[in-house]
Amino acid sequence: MNPTDVPTQTRLDHLLGLADDALVAAQRLGEWVAAAPELEEDVALANIALDQLGAARLLLTYAGELEGAGRDEDALAYLRDDREFRNALLVELPNGDFAVTMAKLLFVSAYQLPLYTALTGCTDERLAAIAGKARKEVAYHLDHASLWTVRLGDGTEESHRRMQAAVDEIWPYTHELFTPDPAAPVDPAGLRDAFLAAVEPVLATATLDRPADGWAPSGGRSGLHTEHLSYLLAEMQVLHRAHPGARW
């Protein structure tokens, strides 16, 4: 679909959905700095968070220019309230234990990889370029989460229990990622098969059961979020709001 055929507000919402997924995921992953189970993982999660933040910055800058209201990436990141965010509910969920974080990372990256891959071929050249860069990074995120999922799922009795519990807890939130949206540059409904093709072999190797489909919470794309996003934004935005217009 030619981007000029889509209303500006619709295009803006799509960009913000991509950007906010990455921004909120980055903020959550950053909470593991100095708290990961081992030093190497501390660095790895910080790097993944920076990858997501980098994608968010490019997307937010583009969204601000498209909006034409004078808001830059900082204004969109730090001066919007929770009802203005368009991220999926999955990324705003608390980290929980390390197994929950790995389940979240596995599902998010298994969604983002085919999404960014498809976006590299969209008619919006700027969005395609951003997706081309992000795709390479997300491929590593998926590999990293897959290795940890197998390590925990096929590890000790306790690690298996925790990893299965994490998969069961997070799985319902994956359905929102694939809500049909024919006006989007890439309709998310068409990505579910690629998502399952990436996730199901990992779960099988990890001796984990794929949960049955059922309850499917949603609303994030429309600005209806869990209470967790409000707390996350309060922490993320406090410095910018306390010193508006400050420059380093």
Over range 161-187, report the average pLDDT. Answer: 97
Give the side-chain half-sphere CA count within 13 A for 107: 27
Q: Does 4 score more than 90 pLDDT?
A: no
Establish if 247 belongs to a structural domain.
no
- The CATH number of whichever domain residue 61 belongs to comes to 1.20.1260.10
Number of independent structural domains in the chain: 1
Asked if 96 and 225 count as a contact pair (C-beta separation under 8 A), the reply is: no
Establish if 220 belongs to a structural domain.
no
Q: Does 5 score more than 60 pLDDT?
A: yes
Domain hosting 203: range is: 3-211+225-242
Q: Average pLDDT over the chain, rounded to whole? A: 96
Q: Alpha-carbon distance 105 to 88, whole Å?
A: 13
Amino acid at 160: H
Asked if 109 and 101 count as a contact pair (C-beta separation under 8 A), the reply is: no
- Confidence band, pLDDT 50/70/90 cuts, at residue 3: low
- Confidence band, pLDDT 50/70/90 cuts, at residue 139: very high
Establish if 91 belongs to a structural domain.
yes
Q: Alpha-carbon distance 217 to 220, whole Å?
A: 9
Asked if 218 and 181 count as a contact pair (C-beta separation under 8 A), the reply is: no
Establish if 81 belongs to a structural domain.
yes
**What is 65-87 written as a DSSP string?**
HHHTSS--HHHHHHS--GGG---
Establish if 189 belongs to a structural domain.
yes
Coil, helix or strand at residue 124: coil
Over range 125-136, report the average pLDDT. Answer: 98
pLDDT at 205: 98
Q: Alpha-carbon distance 11 to 148, whole Å?
A: 36
Over range 172-186, report the average pLDDT. Answer: 96
Percent of the chain topping pLDDT 90: 94
Q: Alpha-carbon distance 162 to 150, whole Å?
A: 12
pLDDT at 185: 94
DSSP state of 210: P
pLDDT at 6: 78
Q: Alpha-carbon distance 18 to 115, whole Å?
A: 10
Both tokens of 195, joined, read 């998502």
Establish if 196 belongs to a structural domain.
yes
The whole model's pTM is what? Answer: 0.95
In this predicted model, what pLDDT tens digit does every residue of 10-37 receive, in sequence order?
999 999 999 999 999 999 999 999 999 9
- Give Cα separations from 209 to 52, 163, 212, 235 (angstroms): 28, 10, 9, 35
Lowest mean pLDDT of 31-45, 159-173, 192-206, name the range: 31-45
Both tokens of 73, joined, read 């990436």
pLDDT at 144: 98
pLDDT at 245: 81
Q: Does 85 score more than 90 pLDDT?
A: yes
DSSP state of 211: P
